[in-house]
Every structure is written in C-alpha cells, then in structure tokens.
C-alpha cells in the first residue's frame, strides 16, 4: 500500500495542534519559569502545526504558502523550542543567534523557491538553521549522560539525537544520492521515514518537556520541604540528612565533624516587647551574622524557635571552638535596629565533635545541646564544648580560645 506523505504531514499537523492546545490550557495554573517554558513550547507547536499543514497542501496551495510561509513557520517553531528548553534548563537562551540564522536562511529559501527554484539548494539552506537549533537543544542536555543524570533529560536527548540523525541522512542523500532529488512529498525512502518520524516528533518532544517539568517540580518540592520558611536555612529534616551523611563520611575517613548548637540569648524579652515582627527581625539578623562567619562547606539549619545548628565537616574540636567564637563575636557586633532603637544581641553556643564510637547523629547533637545549656548557665554569650564541660564542669572556653587564637 502506497503511503501518502501529504496525509502524513497533515496528520502530524493535527497532532501538533492538539498538543499545543493541551499545553496552553493545562499550564494556565502553573507558575514561574516552568509555566513560561511550557507555554512557549505550546506556541511553538501551534506554529509547527501550521507549517506542516501548509507543507502537506503543496500542490493545492501556491509555492508562497506551501514553501515560503510553511518553512518560515517551521523554523520559527524550532527557534521557540530552543528558547523554551533552554529556559527550563536554566541555560542562556541564545535567542539572538537562533533568530538571526533562521531569518537569513529563510530569505535564501525565499530566493530559491520564488526567484531561482532549486529544491536541493532550498532544502540544504532550510537544514542549516534546524541543525543549529538542534545543537543548541542538545548542548545543555549533555550532562544527563553522567551517572546520576536526569532520566527525563535523557528521553529528550534521545528524541533530539534521532532528529539530528534524520536530518544528517536527508542532507547526505541530497548531496550524494544517486536518484535526482524530487519534492518533499515524493515517496522516496528518505522522505517517507523522515516524514513519518517528524510527524511523531511533537508528541515525543512534548512528553520530554512534561517529564522534565515534573522532575523540576519534584526537585522544588524536595528543596522547599527542607528549607525553613522564615530564615531560608535548612530545617530539621535537611539537617538530619546532612548530619547522617557527615557521620558516614567521618567513619570512612576517620576525620571528625563538628556540631555547634546556637541559641539567641534573652530572645523572649525582644519577642515580648516588639512582637513577632521584631522577633523575626532578630532571627534574620542572627542568621546573617552566622552565615557571614561560616566556611564554604559549613551548613546551618534551624531546629526550632531561636535555636540553630551549624555542621562543620572535617573540623577538630579546636577548629570548632574557634568557629564558635567567630560566630559569637559576629553576632555580638551586629547592628540590630528595631523601631528606631539599637538592640543588643548575643548568642550562647555549645560545641562538640563526632567520636569514633558514635553510631547515630542524635547522640552528637545531644552533646552539643548539653554544652549549649552549660554555656547558658555559665552566664550566656559564650562558647562551651561538651568535652570541656564533661572534664571541667562549669568552665568556659575563654582561656582555650585565647590559646588557640594567634
């Protein structure tokens, strides 16, 4: 049975149009970059549907419609798809390059369609911007081939790789094929396979977009579930996961990690006097001061109220005490204005480090918490370690810090 390529083109156009409507309607309630990306992809599908519909009516419509306008719409759909995908991936859009190449090549297509008709040259020039677009689509997806790469991105990369292969096959056939080139709708082997797979491409590409969107939303939900909404630092869940990871690493390397438990002194007084807004401002100032004192690998999280935890990888007790003192001084020297008044803010800090016999993170954090309350009882605004408290009940870290600081 002979395959009518014009019918395939029209059916592909119908499929792309229906997918476009689904995307544009379904994404109305979405938000952020993902919504913008999927809506751009929806418009790209509309232009692609219109272009393939006009291509399928070649012989019924004039060359201006079925060649010039049709190719222009298809090239525009590719350009918009580049923008949509790179937006979803957070990559630079490269929109100016894509549009410039597409516009120049389209003008050349117009010349070889209307002034000096030449199918072979016209297809070669139409293939150039598509090749550029596919390159810009594939490039930000290369990292998905790594061990823990995104499966959704691998699906998209596979679809694009097939498109690139089809395009290359068509170009080689035009340049080196034995048979003289006919029109796009001539039932040659290359044209038949190219039209059939190209007609299915909108479906597979759209599935790839939706899978990538779903992965991005899952990642956002995971991130939000691990972030304290007021301060933007890690919450209890994220801290537990990080502490567990550090404990596993400590067992492998034999190097300890430090846990610092911090609590704002006399926080209730500020909260009672200035209300929750004043209390929130104190917490944000406290977090800014702590962050400014941390190293690149250190982790901060909020465990409740005005209590925070800092985890410091590969830190000895001495290094942890120095870090605690640096945080304490930063908080003490912070400028805190509430309702036109400067308020003093200090913090008490309990410090501990993991031990070879530690089997759970809860024991490490309990030791830090014990040291924190020892610092509170000793007068607040000071740093104490669980080890020091155990050996010298009631002593502070002041003398040790003086020995550690150059």
Give a yes or no: residue 220 inside a domain. Answer: yes
Average pLDDT score over residue span 333-349 = 85
Residues 304 and 385 in one domain: yes
Residues 211 and 267 in one domain: no
Q: Model confidence over 240-277: pLDDT tens digits?
A: 999 999 999 999 999 999 999 999 998 888 888 888 88
Task: From 163, 196, 224, give the residue that closes a domain.
Answer: 224
Q: Per-residue pLDDT for 392 more than 80?
A: no
- Tell me which residue range forms the domain holding 373: 236-404
Q: Are 233 and 245 in contact (CB under 8 A)?
A: no
Q: Average pLDDT over the chain, rounded to whole?
A: 87
Give residue 114's pLDDT.
92
> Tokens 């006009």 label which residue?
54
Give residue 178's pLDDT.
65
Give residue 182's pLDDT.
66
Domain count, the chain: 2
Those residues with Cβ within 8 angstroms of residue 6's Cβ, 6 or more apart along the chain or in another chain: 56, 57, 58, 59, 185
Residues 37 and 149 in one domain: yes
Banded pLDDT at 213 (limits 50, 70, 90): confident
Give residue 170's pLDDT.
85
Residues 157 and 199 in one domain: yes
Those residues with Cβ within 8 angstroms of residue 166's Cβ, 6 or more apart along the chain or in another chain: 193, 194, 197, 198
Residues 149 and 281 in one domain: no
Phi, psi of 232 (to 5 degrees): 80, 5
Give residue 298's pLDDT.
95
Give residue 248's pLDDT.
93
CATH number (domain holding residue 251): 3.30.70.270
Banded pLDDT at 180 (limits 50, 70, 90): low
Give residue 179's pLDDT.
59
Question: From the CB of residue 262, how many other CB atoms can be counted at a distance below 10 Å?
Answer: 27
Residues 256 and 214 in one domain: no
Banded pLDDT at 364 (limits 50, 70, 90): very high
Average pLDDT score over residue span 30-48 = 88
HEC assignment per residue over 255-306: CCCEEEEEEECCHHHHHHHHHHHHHHHHHHHHHHHHHHHCCCCCEEEEEECC
N- to C-terminal Cα distance for the chain? Answer: 89
Average pLDDT score over residue span 327-331 = 95
Specify the DSSP element, H or E, that contains 113: none
DSSP string of 314-383, one letter each residue: T--HHHHHHHHHHHHHHHHT---EETTEE----EEEEEEE--TT---HHHHHHHHHHHHHHHHHTTSS-E
Q: Are 176 and 139 in contact (CB under 8 A)?
A: no
Task: From 165, 189, 224, give the residue that closes a domain.
Answer: 224
Give a yes or no: residue 162 inside a domain. Answer: yes
Q: Model confidence over 233-245: pLDDT tens digits?
A: 999 999 999 999 9
Give a yes or no: residue 331 inside a domain. Answer: yes
Residues 214 and 242 in one domain: no
Give residue 401's pLDDT.
40
Return the SS3 of 180.
coil
Return the SS3 of 2.
coil
Give residue 318's pLDDT.
93
Give a yes or no: residue 378 inside a domain. Answer: yes
* Catalytic status, residue 332: no
Average pLDDT score over residue span 179-199 = 76
Give a yes or no: residue 349 inside a domain. Answer: yes
For 91, 213, 275, the CA distances from 94, given in Å and listed in that order, are: 9, 21, 50
Task: From 171, 198, 224, give the residue that closes a domain.
Answer: 224
Give a yes or no: residue 230 inside a domain. Answer: no
Give residue 1's pLDDT.
47
Residues 240 and 218 in one domain: no
Residues 240 and 203 in one domain: no
Q: Per-residue pLDDT for 390 more than 60?
A: no
Query: Measured between alpha carbons, how far is 299 from 78 in angstroms, rounded to an integer?
Result: 43
Q: By C-alpha distance, which of 101, 105, 95 is closest to 68?
A: 105
Give a yes or no: residue 288 inside a domain. Answer: yes
Residues 178 and 307 in one domain: no
Selecting among 153, 215, 241, 306, the annotated active-site residue is 306
Phi, psi of 263 (to 5 degrees): -140, 130
Q: Are 201 and 165 in contact (CB under 8 A)?
A: no
Banded pLDDT at 399 (limits 50, 70, 90): very low
Give a yes or no: residue 260 inside a domain. Answer: yes
Q: Which two tokens stand for residue 127?
A: 């293939």
Q: Per-residue pLDDT for 402 more than 80?
A: no
Residues 190 and 280 in one domain: no
Banded pLDDT at 2 (limits 50, 70, 90): low
Which of 18-32, 49-63, 355-369 is predicted with the least confidence, judged by mean pLDDT?
Answer: 18-32
Q: Model confidence over 90-136: pLDDT tens digits?
A: 899 899 999 999 999 999 999 999 999 998 899 899 999 999 999 99
Average pLDDT score over residue span 274-294 = 90
CATH number (domain holding residue 106): 1.20.1070.10
Residues 142 and 201 in one domain: yes
């Amino acid at each position: 049975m002979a395959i009518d390529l014009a019918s395939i083109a029209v059916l592909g156009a119908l499929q792309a149009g229906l997918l476009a409507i689904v995307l544009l309607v379904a994404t109305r309630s979405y938000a952020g970059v993902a919504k913008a990306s999927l809506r751009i992809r929806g418009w790209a599908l509309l232009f692609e549907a219109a272009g393939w519909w006009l291509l399928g009516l070649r012989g019924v419509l004039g060359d201006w419609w079925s060649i010039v306008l049709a190719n222009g719409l298809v090239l525009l759909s590719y350009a918009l798809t580049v923008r949509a995908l790179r937006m979803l991936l957070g990559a630079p859009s490269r929109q100016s390059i894509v549009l410039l190449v597409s516009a120049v090549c389209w003008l050349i297509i117009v010349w070889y369609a209307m002034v000096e008709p030449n199918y072979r040259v016209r297809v070669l020039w139409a293939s150039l911007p598509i090749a550029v677009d596919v390159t810009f689509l594939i490039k930000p997806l290369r990292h998905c081939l790594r061990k823990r790469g995104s499966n959704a991105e691998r699906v998209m990369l596979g679809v694009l790789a097939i498109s690139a292969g089809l395009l290359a096959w068509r170009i080689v056939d035009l340049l080196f094929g034995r048979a003289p080139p006919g029109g796009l709708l001539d039932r040659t082997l290359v044209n038949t396979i190219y039209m059939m797979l190209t007609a299915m491409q909108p479906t597979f590409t759209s599935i790839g977009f939706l899978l990538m969107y779903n992965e991005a939303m899952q990642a956002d939900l995971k991130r939000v579930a691990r972030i304290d909404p007021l301060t933007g630092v890690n919450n209890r869940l994220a801290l537990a996961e990080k502490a567990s990871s550090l404990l596993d690493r400590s067992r492998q390397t034999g190097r300890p990690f430090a846990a610092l438990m911090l609590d704002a002194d006399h926080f209730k007084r500020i909260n009672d006097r200035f209300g929750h807004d004043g209390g929130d401002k104190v917490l944000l100032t406290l977090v800014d001061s702590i962050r400014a004192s941390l190293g690149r690998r250190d982790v901060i999280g909020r465990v409740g109220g005005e209590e925070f935890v800092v985890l410091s990888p590969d830190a000895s007790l001495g290094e942890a005490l120095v870090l605690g003192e640096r945080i304490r001084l930063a908080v003490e020297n912070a400028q805190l204005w509430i309702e036109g008044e400067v308020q003093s803010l200090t913090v008490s800090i309990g410090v501990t480090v993991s031990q070879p016999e530690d089997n759970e993170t809860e024991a490490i954090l309990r030791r830090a918490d014990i040291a924190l309350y020892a610092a509170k009882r000793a007068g607040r605004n000071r740093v104490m370690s669980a080890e020091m408290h155990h050996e010298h009940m009631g002593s502070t870290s002041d003398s040790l810090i003086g020995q550690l600081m150059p």
